[in-house]
Amino acid sequence: MRRARIWIGLALAVVWLFASVSTAEARRRRRKPNMPRGHSWPPTQAMKDMGLQCQARLTALGVKWERPVAPKERKRRKRKRKRKRKRKLNRSKSWARGQIVTPVVVPDMVFGQVKLTPIWRKGPQVLDCHLAEAIALTSPRWHALGVRELRFSSIYQYREVRYKGSTSKALSRHALGLAIDVYEFVDDGGRTHVVEDHYWGLGLFLPAVEVVANSSGEFRTVITPLRDPASHHDHFHLEAQVEYPVAKTRRRARSSRKRARKRRRRARRRRRR
């Protein structure tokens, strides 16, 4: 009896182990990539057309933008070719290696009624047209609140998502040029509001900026110290809202044809009755 119980216990343990592994594998497979709806790389013609429309709207908003020039790749020397060096993609500084669908450059870094100023790197920086449009459309509400300048650290950066103290395997929207990390806000009186120092203070300036960004409808995600104190304790993470047209695949087209055929057959049967 004891041996039978032991064998039964071992069998149940093995079954439980395989079940837990299968559920974890299923969760891993169900995990959706952090990409906009309809996004693909290289970009489709529909995505390019959508980018041209965004550039036209950006011009109508009065933003002076230019098309960036891709940096020329330097020729490696023969001795460097012999060496095999592995370079990680998240350390790449060239925006041409990323996946920015509609790259633009704003020389004066003025988006509507607010100005963007980089903290570390020299500007102007390359970003996607949809992010520039989102900032320009939200700028009147920020300007009415008293915001005059946004000091940021990075826009384009080919890396993974960092959230709640951990780094996932999903690609961040910084790699698409659709996200910006703002560390400081300057008001109309010239006062600098540092997110790390003043967000949890007595003032309501930074929470009001957050409310405006959330209620504008131009940003998909607004991550602040309130939402993620582990990885975003010192900056605002703003992601532009963009959805590309979804192209119908062959499977979807076939399924739609089958549905149409079934509907026709049902209609014929009803007529015969």
Q: pLDDT tens digits, the chain, 273 residues: what are they?
A: 555 555 555 455 444 544 444 444 444 444 556 788 888 888 999 999 999 999 999 999 999 999 988 665 444 444 454 454 444 433 444 556 568 999 999 999 999 999 999 998 787 889 999 999 999 999 999 999 999 999 999 899 888 898 888 888 888 999 999 999 999 999 999 999 999 999 998 688 999 999 999 999 999 999 999 999 999 999 999 999 998 887 665 555 566 777 788 888 888 887 776
pLDDT of 164 reads 86
Q: What is the pLDDT of residue 28?
A: 46
Give the burial class of 176: count Cβ atoms within 10 A of its Cβ; 0-12 exposed, 13-18 middle, 19 or more buried.
buried
Given this model, what pLDDT does residue 141 score? 96
Residues in the chain: 273
CA 125 from chain center: how many Å?
Answer: 17
Q: Residue 68: is the preceding peptide bond cis (ω within 30°)? A: no
Q: Which pLDDT does position 38 carry in this prediction?
A: 84
Task: Determine the pLDDT at residue 127.
Answer: 94
- The angle at the Cα of 67, spanning 65 to 72, to the nearest 5 degrees, equals 140
